[in-house]
Amino acid sequence: MDDSLLKKYIPMTETTYYTLLSVMTPRHGYAIMQYVSGLTKGRIVLGTGTLYTMVGRLVADGVIVTVSGGEGKKSYQITDIGLELVRRETERLEKQLADGRSVINQGGL
């Protein structure tokens, strides 16, 4: 994987992370917004401006691709590069969470 992509996407913003999770299967823009909101129980609500700006960047970087969707809607799906990025970010977050739990359970350092 290109080091420049790693530097650009790791650490990943929450909106990017959840958007990538949402396009593990092809989804159009509105479906991405619904999926992210449902998965996060409304904690993250993507606006159209935020979503489409981010999607444009992700497509340009080869992290997701445009696929033909139903009803003439443009849909998006994660690429192998995107999947590798989301896996690496998940591993990074797991380590961060484990460190936090360790310190909290010990009552500090």
At residue 108, the pLDDT reads: 61
Ramachandran assignment for 88, one of left (phi > 0), alpha (psi -120 to 50 degrees), beta (any other): alpha
Kindly list the domain boundaries of the chain, sorted by start residue: 3-99
pTM value?
0.92
Summarize pLDDT for 31-56 with one digit per residue, the tens: 999 999 999 999 999 999 999 999 99
Q: Which CATH number fits domain 3-99: 3.40.50.460, 3.40.1190.10, 1.10.10.10, 3.20.20.70?
A: 1.10.10.10
Which pLDDT score is estimated for 103?
93
Instruction: Give the mean pLDDT of the chain.
Output: 94
**What's the pLDDT band for 58 if we cut at 50, 70, 90?**
very high
